[in-house]
Amino acid sequence: MRTRKIGLDYPSNSEACPVETTLDVIGGKWKGVILFHLIDGKKRFNEFRKLHPCITQRMLTLQLRELERDGVIHREIYKEVPPKVEYSLTEFGRTLEPIILLMKDWGVQHKNSVNKEVRTTRNEELK
């Protein structure tokens, strides 16, 4: 999503769309989920894995790195054996909390309205 911007010079790209700016930060495949879990407090690497077994190690690492790079989360490394790393929201990251929480609320309320299955029906109803 970010690479799309490289080399392009459309004048009113993200200028016309602040929404895009936001989605650049939280729109990654698992970023919303990660941020959501961080609202409760700091989490360790394997805690995320337990919370979402379907996220692969690789993807979890990548998404965490991008969030860190964007200044949204902080990565605290404890020089212990065995190693221990804790992720937490930064001040900047906290500004995203309202959005994440609103997304959570919407998800809870409309979970049943959203059809999760593959849509087989393609009703093109003309009128």
Partner DNA sequence: CTGAATCCCCAGAGATACTG
Partner DNA sequence: CAGTATCTCTGGGGATTCAG
The interface partner of residue 17, options being DNA, a second copy, none and the CB cut-off 5 to 8 Å by kind, is a second copy
- DSSP class of residue 111? T
The interface partner of residue 53, options being DNA, a second copy, none and the CB cut-off 5 to 8 Å by kind, is a second copy
Which residues in the 29-88 window bind a second copy by CB under 8 A? 29, 32-33, 35-36, 51-54, 69-71, 77, 79
| C-alpha span between 97 and 3 (Å, rounded) | 26
Q: Measured from the CB of residue 98, what is the shortest distance to DNA in angstroms?
A: 25
Cβ within 8 Å of residue 92, ≥6 positions away:
71, 72
Burial class of residue 21, CB neighbours in 10 A (0-12, 13-18, 19+): exposed
Residues near DNA, by CB under 7 A: 1, 3-4, 28-29, 44-47, 54-59, 61, 64-65, 75, 82-85, 87
